[in-house]
């Protein structure tokens, strides 16, 4: 059966990501150079994440934290490693731009549940695991409905709702709402935290 999520969605992802990367290339280069000097090493953060059906891929983002460690050789808390440049780049969501490369490659979609950490896979219940029935996205239904300010339970509810209602019009709506959210810098972090709260298992 010919459906949007089988072929048209991939074409939509590829062409928007490809031309988006071309248009944003001056910003991409500027941010990469800025972070290279701000971090004192790499401008990019590469990490393994689960994609569709839990298949592992390597996600690429701009690196917003340095690698400073304590006297015992352990990384300092996230809040202490987040640089001034990184704070601005997160606030403006510029750190997500390199993921357009993941979309072009086919590991990700523009719209879909955000790719979480591999160690979370074994913590999902059957309902939560349904978020992996589609490719993860740069933005998604949960991101335009609170992003990092909502609970894990709410995020999974939104993610699974998206999987069940996926359509071109819904993707277009999420894309437009995402642009509005970026300009308003809403839902970037939880109160008192540099990053979102760790997922610790089923509810």
Question: 141-153, pLDDT tens digit by residue?
Answer: 999 998 778 899 9
| pLDDT classification of 196: cutoffs 50, 70, 90 | low
Question: Across all residues in the chain, what is the average pLDDT?
Answer: 89
| pLDDT classification of 6: cutoffs 50, 70, 90 | confident
Residues 88-108 pLDDT 10s = 998 888 999 999 999 999 999
Q: Per DSSP, what are the bridge partners of residue 65?
A: 82
Which pLDDT score, from 0 to 100, does residue 186 have? 61
Q: 175: how many CB neighbours lie within 10 A of its CB? A: 16
Which pLDDT score, from 0 to 100, does residue 187 have? 54
| pLDDT classification of 197: cutoffs 50, 70, 90 | confident
Question: Which whole-number Å values give the CA distances from 155 to 33, 35, 110, 140, 147, in the listed order?
Answer: 34, 30, 18, 10, 8
- Per domain, the residue ranges of the chain are 8-184
The pLDDT of residue 193 is above 60:
no
Q: Say which DSSP state 29 is in.
A: H
**76/153 Cα distance (integer angstroms):** 29
Q: Per DSSP, what are the bridge partners of residue 44?
A: 62
pTM beyond cutoff 0.75 = yes
**Cα 195 vs. chain centroid, distance in angstroms?**
12
Structure tokens at 163: 């999987």
Percent of the chain with pLDDT over 70: 92
């Amino acid at each position: 059966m010919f459906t949007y999520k089988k072929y048209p969605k991939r074409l939509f992802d590829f062409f928007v990501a490809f031309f988006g990367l071309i248009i944003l290339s001056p910003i991409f280069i500027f941010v990469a150079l800025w972070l290279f000097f701000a971090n004192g090493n790499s401008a990019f953060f590469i990490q393994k994440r689960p994609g569709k059906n839990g298949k592992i891929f390597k996600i690429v983002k701009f690196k917003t934290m340095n690698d400073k460690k304590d006297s015992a050789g352990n990384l300092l808390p996230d809040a202490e490693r987040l640089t001034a440049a990184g704070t601005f780049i997160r606030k403006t969501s510029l750190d997500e731009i390199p993921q357009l490369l993941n979309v072009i490659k086919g590991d990700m979609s523009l719209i879909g549940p955000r790719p979480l950490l591999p160690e979370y896979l074994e913590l999902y219940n059957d309902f939560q695991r349904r978020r992996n029935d589609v490719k993860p996205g740069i933005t998604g239904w949960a991101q335009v409905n609170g992003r990092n300010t909502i609970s894990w339970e709410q995020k999974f509810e939104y993610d699974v709702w998206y999987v069940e209602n996926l359509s071109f019009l819904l993707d277009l709506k999420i894309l437009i709402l995402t642009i509005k959210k970026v300009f308003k810098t809403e839902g970037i972090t939880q109160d008192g935290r540099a990053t979102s709260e760790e997922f610790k298992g089923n509810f």
